Amino acid sequence: MRHSAKNRKLSRSQGGRTALLRGLMVSFIRDERITTTFAKAKELQPRIERLVTLAKTDSVPSRRLAAARLGGPNEAIMKKLFGTIAPKFKERNGGYTRVIKMGRLPSGRDAAAIAFVE
């Protein structure tokens, strides 16, 4: 039964799921728009929203928390998050990302629903 189960498992173990979502978050911050499956996009969205809200206050503790949540990324990712992305949304309270369904792409894939996250 799925009582109180809020997150998707994405057919992975806990460590694999964590690594996948960290990689997606780093890619999203680097590129600002990624294409992935719809389930992964919906799982990624609240994590990115919390990260941007955390980055709006540029302090040492918030930088350390962000680095821990991103798995210790390189300095360029942190600089982009705190210097470029977070100041854009300084006056906005949430709703920083959107997930756009693109339908299914059956060409050589498993025909999973594809989505843009931007």
pLDDT at 92: 92
Lowest mean pLDDT among 7-11, 30-34, 52-56, 108-112: 108-112
Q: Are 66 and 54 in contact (CB under 8 A)?
A: yes
Q: pLDDT at residue 108 above 70?
A: no
pLDDT digit string (tens) for 54-99?
A: 999 999 999 999 999 999 888 999 999 999 999 999 999 999 999 9
Q: What is the mean pLDDT of the chain?
A: 91
Identify the structural domains of the chain with CATH numbers, from first to last. Answer: 15-117 (3.90.1030.10)
As a whole number of angstroms, the longest Cα–Cα distance in the chain is 46
CB 83 within 8 A of CB 72: no
